[in-house]
């Protein structure tokens, strides 16, 4: 058995038809394929993303998506490897192939100098726990839209010219945090390609605050992915922006925002998230210390839904 990189085109042909029932969600198969190829061919994808398979002889018996990100913890930068779409075809399940694949990948990442591995588990977190991953705070927040402060703002839909202002808002918020995912220019390009819905609050031409999310009338909710605010914006800017995003919908829902950003919203109902459970495995002493820091933080989750893989 050996690990091999799978070309994006081969992954589309051999793996995506099997995983689409699990992860395509509301996308058509053509949309599912197009987004996979878009990621692989992007600047981020060419540098920091791979599709990898475990082969038993010539048979592809398990596969995963491999992501690279940098995290900051205090003054230290920690290189991380992310696992997504871990999959074993039905006829090969129960033989330990996925365990061998991930354990081998973790050993290789440790030898290559990565400090931590991470993933978001939709099913069976215990499987990953047995490989050394630790489940970290993963919670959902629900707010009543009418509990958000109304305020007159100049709000428009997200435009391509807004990304520099959005990045500045994010970085200003991130400076308040002790640890988090860093975002290079290629990561921002990937986020921009994935973001289909966004609102921006302006002061003249400047971006004062932003929110990524989508209206879900069938759930009577605005589903929030991320927000950020400029340092000089009033405290009511983000709540007012989310109130405008919700419109006639009754709720604002989403992952519990990270510490620092969480303080910008009123209290709401929180509960443990059972899907997309955030997990990490230490590959170095720095990685172990980072995981301890995250585990001890009760004020917010570690990352935005935007960082989900």
Question: Read out DSSP for 98-143?
Answer: HHHHHHHHHHHHHHTT--EEEEEESS-HHHHHTTT-EE---EEEEE
Q: Over the stretch 201-212, which tens digit does the pLDDT of each residue have?
A: 998 889 999 999
**pTM reported for the whole predicted model:** 0.94
4 Cα distance to chain centroid: 25
164 neighbors 171 (Cβ within 8 angstroms): no
pLDDT at 63 over 90: yes
Q: Over the stretch 175-189, which tens digit does the pLDDT of each residue have?
A: 888 999 999 999 999
Q: Rounded to whole angstroms, how far apart are CA atoms 32 and 73? A: 34
Element (H, E) at 185: helix 185-194
Structure confidence at residue 166 (pLDDT)? 97
Q: Over the stretch 226-273, which tens digit does the pLDDT of each residue have?
A: 999 998 898 899 999 999 999 999 999 999 999 889 999 999 999 999
């Amino acid at each position: 058995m050996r690990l091999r990189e799978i070309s994006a085109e081969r992954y589309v042909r051999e793996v995506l038809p099997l995983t689409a029932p699990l992860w395509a969600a509301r996308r058509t198969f053509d949309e599912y394929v197009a987004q996979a190829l878009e990621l692989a061919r992007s600047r981020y994808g060419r540098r920091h993303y791979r599709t990898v398979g475990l082969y038993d002889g010539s048979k592809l018996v398990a596969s995963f998506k491999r992501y690279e990100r940098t995290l900051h913890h205090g003054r230290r930068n920690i290189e991380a490897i992310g696992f997504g779409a871990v999959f074993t075809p039905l006829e090969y399940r129960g033989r330990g192939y996925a365990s061998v694949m991930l354990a081998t990948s973790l050993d290789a990442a440790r030898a290559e100098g990565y400090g931590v591995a991470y993933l978001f588990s939709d099913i069976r977190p215990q499987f990953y726990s047995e490989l050394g991953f630790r489940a970290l705070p993963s919670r959902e927040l629900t707010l009543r839209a009418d509990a958000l402060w109304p305020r007159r703002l100049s709000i428009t839909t997200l435009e391509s010219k807004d990304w520099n202002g959005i990045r500045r808002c994010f970085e200003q918020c991130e400076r308040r945090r002790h640890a988090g995912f860093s975002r290079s220019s290629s990561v921002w390009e990937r986020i921009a390609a994935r973001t289909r819905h966004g609102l921006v609050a302006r002061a003249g031409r400047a971006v004062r605050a932003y929110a990524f999310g989508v209206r879900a009338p069938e759930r009577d909710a605005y589903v929030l992915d991320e927000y950020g605010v400029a340092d000089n914006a009033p405290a009511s800017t983000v709540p007012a922006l989310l109130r405008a995003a919700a419109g006639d919908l009754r709720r604002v829902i989403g992952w519990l925002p990270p510490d620092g950003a969480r303080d910008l919203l009123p209290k709401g109902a929180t509960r443990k998230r059972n899907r997309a459970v955030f997990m990490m495995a230490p590959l170095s002493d720095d990685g172990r210390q980072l995981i301890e820091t995250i585990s001890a933080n009760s004020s917010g989750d570690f990352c935005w839904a935007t960082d989900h893989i």
